[in-house]
Amino acid sequence: MKRSNSREDKGREKGADKGKAKGKDARPRRVLRTPRIQIDLPEFIDYKDIALLKKFLTDRGKLMPRRFTGVSARNQRLVSLAIKRSRYLGLLSSGSAKRK
């Protein structure tokens, strides 16, 4: 025989599970992010192509993340390597003079 005075039953009767979605609607929906800037990359990313590399830098000289540029992870690594090489040779500045 089942006891109706147990704590589990009381919780169910008071509506403890009320308002919770069940089934497919219970999972949180994933928000798809669209890139803010769509940059078309050439076949070969060259460290001497300053005009292309500046598109991947902020006004402060920092690398822009992938979610802003919309490039793949492999291309992001190649772009960052090209930027680091051009900074080493002095073709790109490593920072901005806007700081006080």
Question: Can you give the residue range of the structural domain that contains 77?
Answer: 42-100
69 in any annotated domain = yes
CATH number of the domain within which 96 lies: 4.10.640.10
In the chain, % of residues over pLDDT 90: 33
DSSP at 45: -
53 in any annotated domain = yes
Q: What's the confidence (pLDDT) of residue 79?
A: 93
68 in any annotated domain = yes
Flag residues of the chain having pLDDT under 50: none
SS3 63: strand
Q: What's the confidence (pLDDT) of residue 2?
A: 60
Question: How many structural domains does the chain have?
Answer: 1
| Spatial distance between the Cα atoms of 99 and 61, rounded to a whole number of angstroms | 11
Q: What's the confidence (pLDDT) of residue 40?
A: 74
Q: What's the confidence (pLDDT) of residue 63?
A: 92
Q: What's the confidence (pLDDT) of residue 70?
A: 86
Q: Are 53 and 83 in contact (CB under 8 A)?
A: yes
7 in any annotated domain = no
6 in any annotated domain = no
